[in-house]
Amino acid sequence: MTTSQAGSDPQPHGRGNILAPAYLWVAGLQGWRALLFCAGLGAIANLAFPPFHLWPFFALALCGLVWSLDSARLAPKPRLAAFWRVAAFGFAYYFVGMHWIAWAFLVNPGSHLIFIWMPLIALPALLSSILSGAIWAVYPYWCLGPARLLIFASAFMFAEWFRSSLFGIGGLPWNLPGMIWSPGEAISQSASLWGIYGLSLLTVVAMASPAMLADARPRGSIASRAAPIIVAAIVFGALWGWGARRIGEAPIDQQPTATMVRLVDAGVPQHVKHQPESAERIAERFLQLTGPATASSPGVIIWPEGALPYYLFRWDGALRAVTTAVHNRKLIIGTPRVEDFGGPDERVYNSLTVLDGNSTTKMPIWYDKHMLVPFGEFMPFAGVLKSIGLQTLQDLAPGGFEAGPKPETFVTDGVPPFGPLICYEAIFPGLSPNGADRPQWLVNISIDAWFGELFGPGQHAAQARYRAIEEGLPMARVASLGETGMIDAYGRWTARAKPADRALYGPDPEGWRSSVVDAAIPHAVEATPYSNWRDGLFWLIFIGLNLGLFILPRR
C-alpha cells in the first residue's frame, strides 16, 4: 500500500483501534445516508444542553461527525462532501436548539405565521452554512492522526464565535458548547477565568477527543491514539477539582447585603398583553403583587421587561398609579419609550428605568437596550425584508427598536449600583461594565413568554447564570413566564419565585401565572480574571491550539 492510498483509506489498521467496528460502520455511510447520519448527530447533541445536561450526547455527536469527516475523503469530491455533512449536522443542531424563535411567530399568527419559515429554515440554514464553511476552509489540511482534533475544534469554535457576532448589534450566542455544563456546579466555575468561549473551546476539544481512538492509519500506537482523551480527562478533572473547591469555600451566602428586593411577575401570556382591555388589568395585577409600602416591605422592587405594554410616560393615569404605590421605595421597571412621538424622526427604545414616588415630576434616567433580537426587535437586511412586508414582532415598534449605547453601571439614589441587562442581553458574555465602572450586582429583566413552553426559558436562565459566574457578581432576574429569582456570584439560585399566594395577592386571571419572591442581594466577589481580561484567555487558548498543529504530525 502506498502512502497516498493509506491516507485516503478510512479502514482502521494496526493496534489500538478498539472502536474499529463503529468506525467502519460510519466509514461505510456515503451519499444521503451520511447526510442523514450527520443530521441525527446534530439533533441529539441538544440533549447535552439545559435542561438535560446529558453531556455524553455531545461527545457522541462530535465524535460521529469527526469520523464522518474522515470518511468524506472517500467521496468523489471530498471537500464538498465534508461541507454538506457538516451542513446537515449544523441544520439539525440549530433547528432543534433555536426552536424557541419559531414559537414567537405563533404569538400573533395572523400577522407573523406566514414568515415562520425564517426561523425554521432560513436561520438554521444560515448558521449551519457558517459552521460548514469553516470546516470547508480547513478541510484541505485534514489528516487522520490526533492533529485533526485541533483542526476540527478550532474551526468549530471559530464558527461559534462568528455566529455570535452576526448583525453587528445582535448576534446569536445561544447554546454555546460550554453550556452543556450546568451553571453553578464545579466545571462551570472556570467561566470566571476565560468566559463561556474559553470553556466552550475546551469542551469541544474534550468531547471530540474519543474520536481519536480510531482512525485509518496503518500504523499508530495505542498511546498515540489514547493521548488526546487522557489529556482531556486530566484537564477537566483539574477543572472539576478547582471548581469544586471554589464553590466549597463559598457556601450559599448566609449574611447577604442588607438590601432586600421584591421580584414581581404578573405572568401575563404574551398574546394577551396588547389587547386593549388588558392594559388596566395588567397594571392592577402588578400593583397587587408589589403590595403597599410598609416598614417591612423591601425597599427595591423589580418588574420584568415590558411589564406594562405601552408607553408608560404617555399614560398619565398609569404613571400616577404606579408612582403612588411605589411611594418611598424604588421600582426597577422595563418599559418602552419613544422620542419624537408621531414625528418624522420617531425613535422607539426598549428601556429600563428606576421610578419612585416623585417620578411624575422629574424625568428619570434611562438605560436603552444595546443588543437587540434579530427579527424580534430589529430587522437585519431591513431593506430587503421590509420590501416583502416583514415587520418585527413588536406591537409598539413594528419597524424595530433603536439600539442604545453599551451598558454602563446604573447609579441612582436608594439602589446599589447595578449593571442592566434586558432580556436577550444576558446571553452575551462581556457586556456588563467592568474596571472602575464595575457594579455591585446585575439586573436582568426579560419577557420569556416569547421563548415558548419547552426548553427556551430554562436555557435563557442558564445563560444568565453564566454571566454571574463570569463577572463574579450576583444577579436579580425577573422573567415574565420564565425563571425568576436571585442568583449569587457563583451562578447558584439563592431564592426562586413561587406562584403568588392567593390569600395575599388574590387570584390570577385565567391563563395568567403570577409569581413573587423577596430576596436579599448576595455579596459580589473580587473581580474575576474574565471580568478583567474578557476574552483574552480564550484567544490565547485558541492560538495555542493552532500552534500545536506545528508540533503534531499531520501525515
How much is the pLDDT for 442? 98
How much is the pLDDT for 100? 86
Cα separation, 485 vs 505, in Å, equals: 18
pLDDT, one tens digit per residue, over 56-68 is: 999 999 999 999 9
Q: Domain check: are 467 and 516 in the same one?
A: yes
Question: What sign has the CA pseudo-torsion 339, 316, 515, 492?
Answer: positive
How much is the pLDDT for 315? 86
Q: Domain check: are 343 and 449 in the same one?
A: yes
11 found inside a domain = yes
**Ranges under pLDDT 50 in the chain:** 1-8, 13-16, 384, 387
Q: Domain check: are 213 and 336 in the same one?
A: no
CB 488 within 8 A of CB 494: yes
Question: What sign has the CA pseudo-torsion 293, 294, 299, 304?
Answer: negative
Number of alpha carbons in the 13 Å side-chain half-sphere of residue 190:
23
How much is the pLDDT for 14? 40
Q: Domain check: are 196 and 331 in the same one?
A: no
Active site residues: 305, 369, 423
254 found inside a domain = no
462 found inside a domain = yes
Record the pTM: 0.93
Cα separation, 181 vs 462, in Å, equals: 10
What's the grid cell of residue 339?
422620542
CATH number, domain with residue 518? 3.60.110.10
555 found inside a domain = no
Q: Domain check: are 25 and 160 in the same one?
A: yes
529 found inside a domain = no
Q: Give how many domains the chain has, as a whole number.
A: 2
How much is the pLDDT for 418? 98
Q: Domain check: are 416 and 510 in the same one?
A: yes
Q: Domain check: are 123 and 228 in the same one?
A: yes
Q: Residue 411: which region, alpha, beta or left (left: phi > 0; alpha: psi -120 to 50)? A: beta
Q: Domain check: are 520 and 541 in the same one?
A: no
Burial (0-12, 13-18, 19+ Cβ within 10 Å), 381: exposed
Q: Domain check: are 230 and 272 in the same one?
A: no
Q: Any bridge partners for residue 353, and if so which?
A: 333, 366
Q: Domain check: are 279 and 154 in the same one?
A: no
Domain of 161 in residue numbering reads as: 3-107+115-249+535-550
Q: Domain check: are 176 and 41 in the same one?
A: yes
How much is the pLDDT for 213? 93
DSSP-assigned states of every residue in 261-299 = EEEEE----HHHHTSGGGHHHHHHHHHHHH----TTS-S
Whether residue 51 is preceded by a cis peptide bond, meaning omega within 30 degrees of 0, is yes
Q: Domain check: are 304 and 451 in the same one?
A: yes
How much is the pLDDT for 8? 46
372 found inside a domain = yes
255 found inside a domain = no
Cα separation, 189 vs 211, in Å, equals: 27
92 found inside a domain = yes
How much is the pLDDT for 83? 98
β-pair type (347-355, 330-339): antiparallel
